[in-house]
Amino acid sequence: MLKRTILLMLILCSVLYCKQEAEKPPTEFELGINLFEGGDLTGAIEMWQIALEKAPKLAPAWFNMATAYDMLNQDSMALICYKKAAELDTADEDPWIYMAQIYRKQKNFEKVAESYENAIDRKSDDPELFNKLGIAYDQLGQYSSALAMLNSAVERDSFYMSAWVNKLIVHNHSGQYDSTIYYKEKFLSIFDDEPVSYVQFAIAYHYLGQEENALAAIDSALAIYPDLASAHYYKGLILLTLDKLDESMAEITRAVELVPDYREIASQDEELEPIKNTRQFRELIEQKE
């Protein structure tokens, strides 16, 4: 199998390939690849459509055409083509992986999970796939399944930091704060400078009522990465619990400055009720981006 890897603007990478078959693919297949590499996505699609008129079961043409539609943000067409590629080459995990990315963009997490399940059926040794399936299960609120997948990722790569961090996140999402703290020493013995993990420890301590430990953990996160929005946001919650209203407001404001999505999160967060009637908070929430 000859594979070509092309850097894309909107997705990390896409593999354009042509399998060695009994017959060479139509000339238009290679012409489509050349146009794709030159940035002419529409022209590439037209060439692959002609190739498929001559060879309807040419799975690489369906996959490559899906990639071009994906880059053009034509999700429906991309999904149709990825599904056809998966149908024609049942052993290939790539169409399922790229379908999962589109479904994630659409926030259709059931389809994300289904797609990664299919990818894993075809490539069961890839810790990244287990990690991503674990994230999808977490977003569906299926925490036991999420932890099972993340554990599978760690079993395949014991130094896979993302899977370890996501385990902490899932424990917190499921309210298993003691479990998050239980893994703290083991995690820090492997990764002692990962800021998101310190935020997760701070969250666990916060909801266990250990605010001083929570504050120490969040300050550790900010020492590593001063512009981590989630750290500023949770520091605001912690400080509010400690009745430091002005400092709390400053941290929430900083979180919103760094990641504007925190404006909506803050507006709906019941923990912030003590400051929601203040002028500063109202101005922050009502501020136009």
Given a cut of 60, whether residue 6 has pLDDT beyond it is no
Average pLDDT, the chain: 91
Question: For residue 89, what are the CA distances in angstroms to 72, 92, 215?
Answer: 24, 6, 52
Q: Cβ distance 255 to 232 under 8 Å?
A: yes
Secondary structure (H, E, C), 47-92 = HHHHHHHHCCCCHHHHHHHHHHHHHCCCHHHHHHHHHHHHHHCCCC
Helix (H) or strand (E) holding 29: helix 27-37
pTM score of the predicted model: 0.86
Question: Where would I find the beta strands (DSSP E) of the chain?
Answer: 2-7, 13-18
Q: Enumerate domains of the chain plus CATH numbers.
A: 193-289 (1.25.40.10)
183-225 pLDDT per residue, tens: 999 899 999 999 999 999 999 999 999 999 999 999 999 999 9
Mean pLDDT, range 127-135, rounded to an integer? 98
Q: Helix, strand or coil for residue 133?
A: helix
Query: What pLDDT, on a 0 to 100 scale, did the predictor assign at position 287?
Result: 79
Q: What angle do CA 243, 245, 249 make, to 5 degrees?
A: 145
Cα pseudo-dihedral 6, 109, 230, 288, rounded to 10: 90
List the one residue out of 199, 205, 250 whose CA is nearest residue 222: 199
State yes or no: pLDDT of 276 exceeds 70. yes
Q: What is the pLDDT of residues 68-104, one digit of tens each?
A: 999 999 999 999 999 999 999 999 999 999 999 999 9
With a cut of 70, say whether residue 58 has pLDDT above it: yes
Per the document, the length of the chain is 289
